[in-house]
């Protein structure tokens, strides 16, 4: 028994000693780990935010502990290596990221390479926050106002605001109108005196050529030629290569059946068939007299008129290539059976024209060039020419009693264009 007990005692002592050694070892290891964590706390925090090892190395090599803490207060900054290379204004890093994300989303300019984008970002934010922000605040702009304006405003625009002390209260009603530019702000305020409408004022200042009688020489090309609402006219051109991809032949009678070139966009073709059938029920017989016209065809016509009658005549009476609604695949010319039969001279004298005037909007069309509006549209009365806009807009235009030019201005349907 005794021996046995001794045996156990010895064994217990041995176990206790062994446990103690293990405990000391564990405490020691914990201490070492704790020390490592303590000394590398910022690196470990960065790693846990998703930064790569090499990114953390760049940051740790570049900054003091205080700046590292600022960086750690942000979510992961995807482009931190670029920011570090371009700027040491650490307190702006989250703005760089915010700006970069915003511009990425809003930009379709693929020409900038990665580095240029970052240079622009850093320059923009540093200028904005280091030199302009305090004055902008004094002028009444909140940070939210400023950020909502950034996608459409260059740094020069913000500099303009500061230089000309344009208060928020002066421009607040124009800020959300598409195409708003600070550099035109004072002109908007002046235009408002005349037009009493914020949308109209911004539109007419930015795009005076919408109203033809303003006789401006600015020339633009549409960036989104497929947009059904585009106001295509002299000064606002479709690209020479543009051809709608969904042209079809409408299933209504065509004035010249020998010519199978009568195509319109699918949506307009369907609407035209509905309109044709509705007219027919009321004993009105309309026919398609002209439809899609390619840029090349327009150019050819223009050159012919130039050769026959001279440049002055051509520029006055023939649409400049790219300026015709016929190239959209949404502009059509109608005629009637009575004209083809010689009972009427022109479509404008027919019952069909009267019917179209009253009903076209129900099918998505407007009579685009009516009497008395040639100074606005730049086109003299063309009763036969209809433009497809879709039912919703065509009804709205019809009820407004406005030309499409004025309708676009009042409703801020401004062209998405680039300078030609
Ligand atoms: Zn026409």
Evaluated on CA atoms 267, 270, 276, 278, the torsion sign reads negative
CA pair distance 283, 94, nearest whole angstrom: 69
Q: Of 128-142, 173-187, 223-237, 309-323, where does mean pLDDT reach its minimum? A: 309-323
Q: How confident is the model at residue 339 (pLDDT cuts 50, 70, 90)?
A: very high
pLDDT at residue 323 tops 90? yes
Q: How confident is the model at residue 313 (pLDDT cuts 50, 70, 90)?
A: confident
331 CA → ligand 1 middle, Å: 6
Q: How confident is the model at residue 5 (pLDDT cuts 50, 70, 90)?
A: low
214 CA → ligand 1 middle, Å: 23
pLDDT at residue 12 tops 80? no
Mean pLDDT, residues 62-73 = 89
Active site residue 382: yes
CA neighbor of 81 nearest in space, from 56, 50, 102: 56
pLDDT (0 to 100) of residue 104: 76
pLDDT (0 to 100) of residue 88: 80
Encode pLDDT of 375-398 as tens digits. 999 988 889 999 999 999 999 999
pLDDT (0 to 100) of residue 216: 94
Q: Of 73-77, 215-219, 255-259, where does mean pLDDT reach its minimum? A: 255-259
In Å, how far from its chain's centre is CA 371?
A: 34
pLDDT (0 to 100) of residue 169: 95
CA neighbor of 205 nearest in space, from 177, 229, 238: 177
192 CA → ligand 1 middle, Å: 34
Determine contact, residues 259/333, Cβ cutoff 8 Å.
no
CA neighbor of 289 nearest in space, from 386, 378, 371: 386
CA neighbor of 146 nearest in space, from 118, 114, 168: 168
412 CA → ligand 1 middle, Å: 25
pLDDT (0 to 100) of residue 328: 97
Token duo for residue 286: 């309309």
**Selected catalytic residue, list 137, 382, 399, 406:** 382
323 CA → ligand 1 middle, Å: 11
Mean pLDDT, residues 147-173 = 93
Cα end-to-end distance, the chain, whole Å: 109
Query: pTM of the prediction?
Result: 0.79
Token duo for residue 133: 């922000």
| C-alpha to C-alpha distances, 205 to 90, 162, 182, 216, 420, nearest whole angstrom | 40, 21, 12, 11, 18
pLDDT (0 to 100) of residue 194: 96
CA pair distance 198, 129, nearest whole angstrom: 30
Q: How confident is the model at residue 19 (pLDDT cuts 50, 70, 90)?
A: confident
């Amino acid at each position: 028994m005794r021996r046995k007990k001794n045996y156990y005692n010895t064994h217990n002592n041995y176990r206790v000693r062994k446990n103690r050694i293990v405990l000391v070892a564990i405490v020691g290891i914990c201490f070492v780990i704790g020390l490592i964590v303590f000394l590398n706390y910022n690196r470990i925090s960065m790693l846990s935010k998703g930064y790569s090892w090499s990114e953390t190395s760049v940051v740790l090599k570049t900054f003091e502990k205080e700046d590292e803490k600022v960086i750690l207060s942000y979510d992961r900054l995807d482009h931190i290596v670029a920011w570090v290379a371009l700027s040491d204004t650490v307190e702006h890093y989250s703005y760089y990221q915010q700006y970069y994300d915003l511009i990425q989303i809003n930009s379709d300019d693929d020409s900038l390479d990665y580095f240029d984008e970052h240079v622009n970002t850093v320059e923009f934010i540093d200028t904005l926050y280091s030199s302009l922000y305090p004055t902008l605040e004094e002028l009444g702009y909140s940070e939210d106002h400023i950020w909502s304006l950034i996608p459409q405003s260059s740094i020069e625009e913000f500099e303009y605001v500061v230089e000309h002390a344009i208060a928020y209260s002066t421009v607040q009603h124009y800020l959300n109108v598409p195409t708003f530019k600070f550099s035109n702000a004072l002109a908007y305020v002046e235009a408002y005196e005349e037009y009493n409408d914020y949308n109209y004022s911004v539109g007419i200042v930015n795009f005076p050529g919408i109203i033809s009688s303003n006789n401006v020489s600015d020339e633009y090309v549409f960036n989104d030629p497929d947009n059904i609402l585009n106001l295509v006219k002299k000064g606002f051109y479709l690209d020479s290569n543009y051809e709608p991809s969904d042209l079809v032949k409408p299933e209504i009678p065509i004035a010249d059946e020998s010519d199978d070139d009568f195509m319109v966009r699918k949506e307009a073709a369907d609407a035209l068939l509905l309109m044709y059938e509705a007219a027919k029920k009321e004993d009105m017989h309309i026919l398609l007299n002209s439809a899609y016209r390619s840029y090349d065809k327009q150019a050819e016509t223009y050159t012919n008129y130039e050769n026959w009658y001279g440049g002055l005549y051509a520029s006055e009476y023939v649409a400049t290539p790219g300026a015709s609604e016929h190239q959209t695949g949404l502009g059509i010319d109608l005629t009637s059976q009575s004209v083809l039969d010689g009972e009427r001279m022109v479509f404008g004298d027919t019952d069909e024209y009267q019917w179209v005037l009253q009903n076209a909007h129900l099918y998505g069309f407007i009579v685009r060039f009516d009497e008395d509006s040639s100074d606005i549209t730049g086109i003299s009365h063309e009763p036969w020419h209809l433009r497809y806009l879709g039912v919703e807009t065509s009804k709205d235009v019809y009820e407004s009693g406005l030309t499409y030019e004025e309708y676009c201005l009042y409703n801020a349907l401004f062209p998405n264009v680039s300078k030609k």
